[in-house]
């Protein structure tokens, strides 16, 4: 019986640890550099990893940025 409780406790702690690591990874702040290929202008934004899409993202201060056809996005780490 003690072994069963021990295994259950280990499983619960492992699940909590994995969930915490996933939460921290998703909420990590990364820098995103946007390059306008027409003008050559570069702009850097700070974005939470979970808010980063392919052509759109939300910055940490709440602005939603959508990329145009000529814009290029790079993650700076």
Q: Would you say residue 12 has pLDDT above 80?
A: yes
If DSSP states are collapsed to H, E and C, what string results for 3-35? HHHHHHHHHHHHHHHHHHHHHHHHCCEEEEEEE
Specify the pLDDT at position 64. 96
- Of 13 and 75, the structure prediction assigns the larger pLDDT to 13
Residue 34: which H helix or E strand, with range?
strand 29-36
* pLDDT digit string, tens, across residues 16-67: 999 999 999 999 999 999 999 889 899 999 999 999 998 999 999 999 999 9
- First vs last C-alpha separation in the chain: 49
Specify the number of domains making up the chain: 1
- Those residues with Cβ within 8 angstroms of residue 33's Cβ, 6 or more apart along the chain or in another chain: 42, 43, 44, 45, 73, 74, 75, 76
Q: Which two tokens stand for residue 19?
A: 């969930």
Residue-number span of the structural domain to which 28 is assigned = 2-76
Q: Rounded to whole angstroms, how far apart are CA atoms 26 and 51?
A: 8
């Amino acid at each position: 019986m003690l072994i069963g409780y021990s295994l259950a406790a280990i499983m619960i702690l492992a699940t909590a640890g994995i969930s915490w690591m996933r939460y921290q990874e998703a909420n990590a702040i990364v820098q995103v550099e946007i390059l306008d290929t027409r003008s050559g202008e570069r702009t850097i934004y700070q974005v939470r990893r979970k808010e980063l899409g392919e052509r759109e993202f939300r910055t940490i201060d709440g602005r939603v940025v959508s990329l145009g056809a000529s814009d290029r996005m790079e993650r700076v780490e």
